[in-house]
Amino acid sequence: MVRDSPCYCTRVTACQRASRIAGSRGREVVTNRPYGTPGSNFLTGLGNKLATSEDELQIACMSIKSSMTSSTPNPVWGDDKLSEFLQRVRNNQVATFTNISPAFDTLRDIDHCFVSVAENMEDPQGSDKLLQLLFRRSHAAYRAACGTSMAGQAPETFVLLRSCLEYSGYALLIHRDPDLALVWLRRHRNNCTYQEMRSKFQVTTIKNGVKSTSHALGIWYCDLYTKEQLTSGHIQIQKA
């Protein structure tokens, strides 16, 4: 997880670039070019894991792909404000895929890095289970950011990219101090455990942890984190 830390900053920068481009080009262009096979969601839990067999997953993906390429969509789709908006998002994503292929290729290549790591992970033990979960959460946030960036939803993209940075930071702290895994897992129990989690996983602590791994990477991480806050408008006000 620590060795892969530079990838987190790389994917954030790629999503930023794609979001800006998609926000100004390629809107509302209809195309018949295949969009691609959707990826599966990561449904990973600790102690109570949700799993889907490979055959079931393949059937589900085939079903989704069939519905995506169908020439006879649901006749009531788009009749309400929400589905109309989602269709516009979809159109913009396909337009970006078709008209701005270099941006999509970058996002796809980074996603391939995630998939390669996930497919070659060994069965985790102890606190490594939580590290794997945080890795998969970071990947899920990245894919969500790909969707919003390709749709031209720039502010929303930066909120998701911030999650990419935070999940990687949490994983780094737990990697260094496995006892923090329980602090993280028990955060929901009561106010005391919640406050303990907040004190152990402060943004400043995460930034210092990244800097201690690599000073150059730490500077990059801090700069990206600040940009995510300013661009998304989601700024944490800490007590003096």
pLDDT tens digits along 83-97:
999 999 999 999 999
C-beta pairs of 118-122 under 8 Å, 24+ apart in sequence: 118/42
Q: Where does the pLDDT of residue 127 fall: very low under 50, low under 70, confident under 90, or very high at 90 and above?
A: confident
Predicted confidence at residue 186, as pLDDT, reads 94
Q: What is the DSSP letter of 37?
A: P
Q: Which of 145, 132, 209 is nearest to 172 (CA)?
A: 209
Which of 132 and 233 is assigned the larger pLDDT?
A: 132
Q: Using only C-alpha atoms, what is the Rg of the chain?
A: 19
* Amino acid in position 80: D
In a domain, 149, yes or no: yes
In a domain, 240, yes or no: no
Q: Which of 163, 159, 161, 173 is nearest to 204 (CA)?
A: 173
- List C-alpha distances in Å: 126 to 146, 178, 182, 184, 197: 32, 8, 10, 14, 19
- Extract the tokens encoding 160: 């998701």
- Extract the tokens encoding 233: 């408008």
Mean pLDDT (whole number) for 39-60: 38
In a domain, 2, yes or no: no
Q: For the whole model, what pTM was predicted?
A: 0.67
Can you tell me whether residue 3 is helix, strand or coil?
A: coil
In a domain, 118, yes or no: yes
In a domain, 90, yes or no: yes
Gap between the terminal Cα atoms of the chain: 33
In a domain, 1, yes or no: no
In a domain, 13, yes or no: yes
Mean pLDDT (whole number) for 89-115: 95
Predicted confidence at residue 16, as pLDDT, reads 54
Mean pLDDT (whole number) for 188-216: 92
Handedness of CA 86, 23, 14, 37 (dihedral sign): positive
Mean pLDDT (whole number) for 128-149: 94
Residue with token string 């008209």: 99
CA 45 to chain centre: 17
Question: Which domain does 43 fall in, by range?
Answer: 7-70+80-232
Q: What are the start-end ranges of the H helices in the chain?
A: 5-24, 54-69, 81-99, 101-119, 128-150, 154-176, 180-185, 191-200, 203-213, 215-232
Predicted confidence at residue 240, as pLDDT, reads 41
Q: Where does the pLDDT of residue 38 fall: very low under 50, low under 70, confident under 90, or very high at 90 and above?
A: very low
Predicted confidence at residue 27, as pLDDT, reads 39
Q: Compute how many other C-beta atoms are within 10 angstroms of the C-beta atom of residue 67.
A: 10
Write down the mean pLDDT value for the chain. Answer: 75
Listed range (26-40, 79-93, 162-176) with the worst mean pLDDT: 26-40
In a domain, 206, yes or no: yes
How many domains would you assign to the chain? 1
**pLDDT surpassing 80 at residue 71:** no
